[in-house]
Amino acid sequence: MSFDELDRRSFLKLTGSGLVLVTSGSGFALAQEEDLRRAARQHVAEETGADPTALDIRNEGMATWSTLGERYYDAKVYDTDEGSLHGVLLDATTRVVDRKEVDRRESEAYERAYGKLTPKLAETVENASPDEELEVVVWLESIDHDAANEAVGLPDRTHAAEVKEELSAEYHERLDRLTRGFARAVEDLTDVTVTTTSKGAPVVEARATPVGIEGLEARAEVDRIDELVTEGHTPLDETTWTHRTFGERDSTYHAAGYPVGHAEFAHPKSDAALNFAGKRWDKDAGGHATVTAEATASNDYSLPGTAYDADVYSADRIIRSFDDRMDWFDSNGVCAVNFSVGIGERDRVMNSWDFRYGQRVYHDFTSVCVAAGNYGSYDNYYVGSPSLGFNQFSVGSIRDQNNGYWFDDEIAGYSCYKNPHSRHADPSYDDFPHDKPEISTCGSGCNTPSSDGSPSGTSMAAPGLTGLITLLCKFSDDFGTVDFSYYPELAKPVAMVSARNDTASWDKEGAGSISAKHARQVVQNGWFDSLYYDSSNSEETVDLYAESGENVRVALMWFSDVTDADFSDNKDAQSDLDMDLSVDDPDGNYVTGSWSYDRGFEYLDFDASTTGTHTVEVNKFRWDASDSYRWMGVAWHRQ
């Protein structure tokens, strides 16, 4: 039995509690969890001279390098006297393991096994006939983000929306030169035809035979080659909806004049209850596209969208024309883009679409909301692509009981919630820490002006969040704050801290179900801060005032760049940064923290025991990025 076939329940049956399977030499051995924890603290004490009694393990997990088939105990050890965080990697004998050396061996093993191909593509190529053309996505070594930042005057300029608009244009120009230049460079390559270049990610799409793929692999600027997945589906079931965000029917929640993007395989019907501001339509109208767009922006007063009467920019063909559609949304300055779609099989492994969607958020500075997916007997509640990326939202579905209460709402029975594979598993081995979905909205029984019956599904949930982010843009104008259409790294934490857990289950619904009323409070009171984090700093701080007895929620998001992330196999995916979040009270005492692995955000909540200014600390634990600065956002809500 291999290491990935044994979960904790199997261990309990075989060995009793407190044992984990860890690499030891060329094989595996069972180790006591407490022995590993004790050894981690002891190692930090010996390395730093710290008092062992002052050392606290803030997080732990089993870190996996899939190609090598090795798994080690990984711990974040916090020195409470010095306020410093230390990472320790141990094998089954409690010997300290050199992480960089394991990374090097993993990279070499992956190259020997697959070259620059993903495992799936390598298998496809092996079984393909010599003249068979395969559709592939070619990832290139990315642009120099530091140079792009300097070109627009960062870090010295004020971090305003116009600066981010200039920076996005600079990113696009450099990516366009990169991908078009590559397309020209391979024009004479045997059996390769480039079909699409991108301004939003360092990728090109191509058709190539096995010989052509071999030629692409040989080029130094090529980083990875993956299959181009073109099979899509719409996560919509027929399974009831109240519109929590539109509880007060006045102009507070009207979004007329604010642009929102809606992307689908087909397009909404022309007579839908929508204010169409722009169309990119090549295919036939679809019922699914119609009801999901209306869930975002219906201008029917009796059945309103979350962003009532927003200006809808609607596009279809979002697989075959993905980059063209995203360029169009970007040129129209949409506040957010809704994708009530799934692409590819749900095998719990991130694919190129997850990464491409995330790169568009990073380079366009546009929020992207994607349906988490609906349960099917074949997928075991695995959250689906393309919602698995680090920068985009994955949105789950809540079943509202259609009354004025929140306590009796529940997660919809079809809403997928099992996280994708990533480098770390917690010691229970039951899940992975790259939490998806991050948030939920009501997606059951969603009557819209054009619906026939009560369509339900995460397809109907995602538009609720898309509409909320559009409202954030309105709120920012109402109160003279930042333009949220350029701050997805703020939109995500604002949405998360203003949400409420209806089912008290983070594992299934994320931060909870959206509340436009609470989100408006966050914007009105300025309970957020944008950071342009300098990698030379170990931490940055934000002041947060709270009164004794208040419940406070705090969230942090940073942009992740997968082209810098340190993993070979997508099963080991992790952000290129590992940031941590903690709060000290007005007297400098530690209150609580969030110290996760792999994902692109942190989230915590606490009940304030002291009135006054608390200190939110954003700590750098790992920085694999090639760039020196990264945009981040912190938000909080008090009640």
Task: Kindly list the structural domains of the chain, giving each domain's residue range(s) and its CATH number in brackets, ordered by start.
Answer: 3-111 (3.10.450), 115-227 (3.30.70.80), 232-525 (3.40.50.200), 529-638 (2.60.120.380)
Dihedral sign, CA of 9, 11, 17, 22?
negative
24: part of which helix (H) or strand (E)?
Answer: strand 19-24
Question: Which amino acid is located at 13 in the chain?
Answer: K
65: part of which helix (H) or strand (E)?
Answer: strand 55-65
Burial of 491 (0-12, 13-18, 19+ CB in 10 A): buried
d(CA 553, CA 541): 16
d(CA 510, CA 553): 13
- End-to-end CA gap in the chain: 51
Say how many CA atoms lie within 13 Å of 617 toward its Cβ: 23
d(CA 471, CA 256): 10
Task: Say yes or no to pLDDT of 118 above 70.
Answer: yes
pLDDT at 487: 97
Tokens standing for residue 167:
């920076």
Most confident of 51-55, 441-445, 450-454: 51-55
**In sequence order, which residues have a C-beta less than 8 Å from that of residue 150 and are 6 or more positions away?**
none
Which of the pair, 240 or 117, is modelled with greater confidence? Answer: 117
pLDDT at 503: 64
Please report where in the chains the tokens 């954030």 appear, as a residue: 472
d(CA 15, CA 403): 49
Instruction: Report the mean per-residue pLDDT for the chain.
Output: 90
Please report where in the chains the tokens 């799409």 appear, as a residue: 205
Give the pLDDT band (50/70/90) at residue 372. Answer: very high
Task: Say yes or no to pLDDT of 283 above 90.
Answer: no
Question: Which amino acid is located at 584 in the chain?
Answer: D
Task: Say yes or no to pLDDT of 464 above 70.
Answer: yes
Which of the pair, 457 or 11, is modelled with greater confidence? Answer: 457
φ, ψ of residue 138 to 5 degrees: the values are -105, 115
Task: Say yes or no to pLDDT of 1 above 50.
Answer: no
Q: What is the mean pLDDT of residues 378-394?
A: 91
d(CA 41, CA 59): 12
Tokens standing for residue 1:
């039995």
Give the pLDDT band (50/70/90) at residue 6. Answer: very low
Identify whether the C-beta of residue 85 lies closer than 8 Å to the C-beta of residue 58. yes
Comparing 3-17, 280-294, 608-622, which segment has the lowest mean pLDDT?
3-17
630: part of which helix (H) or strand (E)?
Answer: strand 629-638
Give the pLDDT band (50/70/90) at residue 20. Answer: confident
Comparing 37-41, 143-147, 192-196, 511-515, which segment has the lowest mean pLDDT?
511-515
- Ramachandran bin of 271, using left for φ above 0, alpha for ψ from -120 to 50, beta for the remaining angles: alpha
pLDDT at 14: 41
**In sequence order, which residues have a C-beta less than 8 Å from that of residue 549 and are 6 or more positions away?**
607, 608
Task: Say yes or no to pLDDT of 240 above 50.
Answer: no
The full 3-state SS of 289-303, as one line of letters, equals HHHHHHHHHCCCCCC
Which of the pair, 142 or 249, is modelled with greater confidence? Answer: 142
Cβ neighbours around 577 below 10 Å, total: 23
Give the pLDDT band (50/70/90) at residue 250. Answer: low
Comparing 241-245, 376-380, 586-590, which segment has the lowest mean pLDDT?
241-245
pLDDT at 502: 63
Task: Say yes or no to pLDDT of 251 above 90.
Answer: no
d(CA 80, CA 78): 6
Burial of 271 (0-12, 13-18, 19+ CB in 10 A): exposed
Task: Say yes or no to pLDDT of 281 above 60.
Answer: yes
Q: Please choose, from the candidates 500, 513, 411, the residue with its C-alpha nearest in 3D space to the C-alpha of residue 462.
A: 513
Task: State what percent of residues in the chain have pLDDT above 70.
Answer: 91
Give the pLDDT band (50/70/90) at residue 357. Answer: very high
210-217 and 119-127 helices, crossing angle to 10°: 140
Q: Which residues pair with 374 in a beta bridge?
A: 415
With vertex at residue 59, the alpha carbon angle to CA 55 and CA 60, rounded to the nearest 5 degrees, is 105
Comparing 133-137, 430-434, 522-526, 573-577, which segment has the lowest mean pLDDT?
430-434
Q: What is the mean pLDDT of residues 291-302?
A: 92
**What separation in angstroms does the CA of 467 have from each of 291, 311, 462?**
14, 11, 9
Q: What is the mean pLDDT of residues 315-344?
A: 95
- Which pTM does this prediction carry? 0.94
- Helix, strand, coil percent content, the chain, rounded in steps of 5: 30, 30, 40
Helix (H, G, I), strand (E, B) or coil at 340: coil
Tokens standing for residue 504:
């008290």
Burial of 549 (0-12, 13-18, 19+ CB in 10 A): exposed
pLDDT at 9: 42
Give the pLDDT band (50/70/90) at residue 410. Answer: confident
Task: Say yes or no to pLDDT of 13 above 60.
Answer: no
pLDDT at 405: 64
Burial of 497 (0-12, 13-18, 19+ CB in 10 A): buried
Give the pLDDT band (50/70/90) at residue 301. Answer: confident
Which of the pair, 149 or 398, is modelled with greater confidence? Answer: 149
Burial of 168 (0-12, 13-18, 19+ CB in 10 A): buried
Pairing, β 311-315 against β 84-90? unpaired
